[in-house]
């Protein structure tokens, strides 16, 4: 049952959606995460129809506001909005008045003044989505804020794991690579832990944040050991654009120690699934033959992203303001 609710109302059974915004998975309860996943499951079928459209958000307007580059997330939100019959407009920092010095708050308030219902925003500053949500009446969906969170990526990853493994509780999931700079890692950790998975992070010591164990994850610096008993390997990109310093000797050495190669896959369980949020640096964090191999679910993640974003737009946009 899908039931968007009134903003600010509290529902004791937790099954009603109350939020005009989706800012992080840290703030969601287990029940709210499961509601998004179940709603996405009911929307997934829409994308396989001849006419890929339902009237759920007819008359509503969504704005995509991207201050950082994106292929998957932006396209996926655009398709999700269109499949729900919403109108969608795209803004990017290049070619907009932000390049003339306009503040984020003013940009958003001006866009909101055109009667936008929900703004989807990607920004390089951690906390920018929360700041915006407090500043405007329209809903705000965080499409990635700095190194903080990327909640819809976390949700689509968890949706894909649940689809492939039929459960989350008790599964062993290892996030591999640049954990320090990864908003995807943080959203995965919050979401997976709330649903009862056992999460390990593995990467060079310089790319694992100090104290991450307090989030309830295990830390392993030896990838050959880490891959052995995992049900899911979620491989993360090295976030060179966010790194301020030298965190490993060279790309070649990183690939040798922390790249998922065909050879390394021989030590993994035969039914392990390989995930990657994209974009993939082939031959660095993941060998091309593994990315394209039978255990890879990378393109399923992309497909599921549309259904998950349909669910998020549907639930948040219909909340009373
Ligand atoms: N996974 C992800 O956020 O990809 P994009 O940067 O292409 O949106």
Cα–Cα distance measured from residue 121 to residue 132, given in angstroms and rounded to the nearest whole number:
9
Is residue 172 located within the same domain as residue 288?
yes
Round to the nearest angstrom and report the end-to-end CA distance of the chain: 22
Tell me whether residue 16 is in a domain: no
Is residue 42 located within the same domain as residue 93?
yes
Q: Where are the alpha helices (DSSP H) in 143-297?
A: 151-165, 183-194, 223-226, 251-258, 262-265, 288-291
Is residue 156 located within the same domain as residue 288?
yes
Tens digits of residue pLDDT in 192-240: 999 999 999 999 999 999 999 999 999 999 999 999 999 999 999 986 6
Ligand 1 mean position, distance from CA 68 (Å): 10
Task: Give the range of the structural domain holding residue 269, as residue numbers without chain letter.
Answer: 152-297
Tell which one of 72, 159, 182 to mutate to probe ligand 1, the residue whose CB is within 8 A of the most ligand atoms: 72
Contact between residue 190 and residue 177 where contact means Cβ atoms under 8 Å apart: no
Q: What is the mean pLDDT of the chain?
A: 92
- % of the chain with per-residue pLDDT over 70: 91
Ligand 1 pocket residue status of 153, Cβ below 6 Å: yes
Is residue 36 located within the same domain as residue 88?
yes
Q: Is the pLDDT of residue 109 over 60?
A: yes
pLDDT at 5: 54
pLDDT at 2: 46
Q: Is the pLDDT of residue 246 over 90?
A: no
Tell me whether residue 118 is in a domain: yes
Is residue 132 located within the same domain as residue 160?
no
Cβ-proximal residues to 88 (8 Å cutoff; 6+ apart), any chain = 61, 62, 63, 64, 77, 78, 81, 82
Max alpha carbon distance in the chain (Å)?
56
Ligand 1 pocket residue status of 282, Cβ below 6 Å: no
Is residue 291 located within the same domain as residue 162?
yes
**CATH code (residue 138):** 3.40.50.1370
Is residue 159 located within the same domain as residue 80?
no
Tell me whether residue 276 is in a domain: yes
Looking at ligand 1, which atom is closest to the CA of residue 73? 8
Tens digits of residue pLDDT in 135-194: 999 999 999 999 999 999 999 999 999 999 999 999 999 999 999 999 999 999 999 999
What is the number of structural domains in the chain? 2
Is residue 228 located within the same domain as residue 270?
yes
Tell me whether residue 2 is in a domain: no
Is residue 268 located within the same domain as residue 170?
yes
Is residue 214 located within the same domain as residue 84?
no
Tens digits of residue pLDDT in 23-42: 999 999 999 999 999 999 99
Tell me whether residue 62 is in a domain: yes
Is residue 283 located within the same domain as residue 313?
no
Beta bridge partners of 233: 174, 274
Q: At what angle do helices 151-165 and 30-44 cross, to 10 degrees?
A: 70
pLDDT at 73: 98
Tell me whether residue 187 is in a domain: yes
Is residue 233 located within the same domain as residue 198?
yes
pLDDT at 16: 79
Ligand 1 atom 3: the closest Cα is on which residue?
73
Cα–Cα distance measured from residue 239 to residue 249, given in angstroms and rounded to the nearest whole number:
15
- 41: how many CB neighbours lie within 10 A of its CB? 16
Mean pLDDT, range 95-104, rounded to an integer: 76
Ligand 1 atom 6: the closest Cα is on which residue?
70
């Amino acid at each position: 049952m899908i039931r968007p609710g009134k903003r600010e109302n509290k529902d004791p059974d937790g099954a009603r959606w109350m939020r005009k915004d989706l800012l992080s998975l840290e703030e969601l309860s287990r029940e709210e995460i499961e509601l998004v996943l179940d709603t996405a499951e009911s929307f997934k079928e829409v994308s396989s129809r001849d006419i890929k459209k339902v009237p759920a958000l007819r008359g509503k307007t969504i704005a995509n506001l991207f201050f950082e580059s994106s292929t998957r997330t932006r396209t996926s939100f655009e398709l999700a909005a269109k499949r729900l019959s919403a109108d969608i407009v795209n803004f990017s920092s290049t070619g907009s008045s932000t390049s003339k010095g306009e503040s984020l708050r003013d940009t958003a308030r001006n866009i909101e003044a055109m009667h936008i219902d929900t703004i989807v925003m990607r920004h390089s500053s951690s906390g920018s989505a929360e700041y915006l949500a407090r500043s405007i009446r329209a809903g705000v969906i965080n499409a990635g804020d700095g190194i903080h969170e990327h909640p819809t990526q976390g949700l689509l990853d968890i949706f894909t794991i649940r689809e492939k493994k039929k459960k989350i509780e008790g599964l062993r999931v290892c996030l591999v690579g640049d954990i320090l700079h990864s908003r995807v890692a943080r959203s995965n950790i919050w979401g997976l832990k709330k649903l009862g998975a056992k999460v390990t992070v593995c990467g060079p010591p310089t790319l694992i944040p100090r104290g991450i164990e307090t989030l309830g994850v295990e830390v392993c610096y030896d990838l050959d050991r880490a891959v052995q008993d995992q049900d899911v390997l979620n491989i993360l990109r090295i976030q060179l654009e966010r790194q301020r310093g030298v965190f490993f000797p060279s790309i070649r050495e990183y690939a040798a120690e922390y790249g998922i190669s065909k050879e390394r896959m021989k030590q993994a369980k035969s039914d392990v699934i390989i995930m990657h949020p994209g974009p993939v640096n082939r031959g660095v964090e993941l060998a091309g033959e593994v990315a394209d191999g039978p255990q890879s679910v990378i393109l399923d993640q992309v497909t599921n992203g549309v259904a998950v974003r349909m669910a998020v737009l549907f639930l948040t946009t219909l909340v009373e303001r």
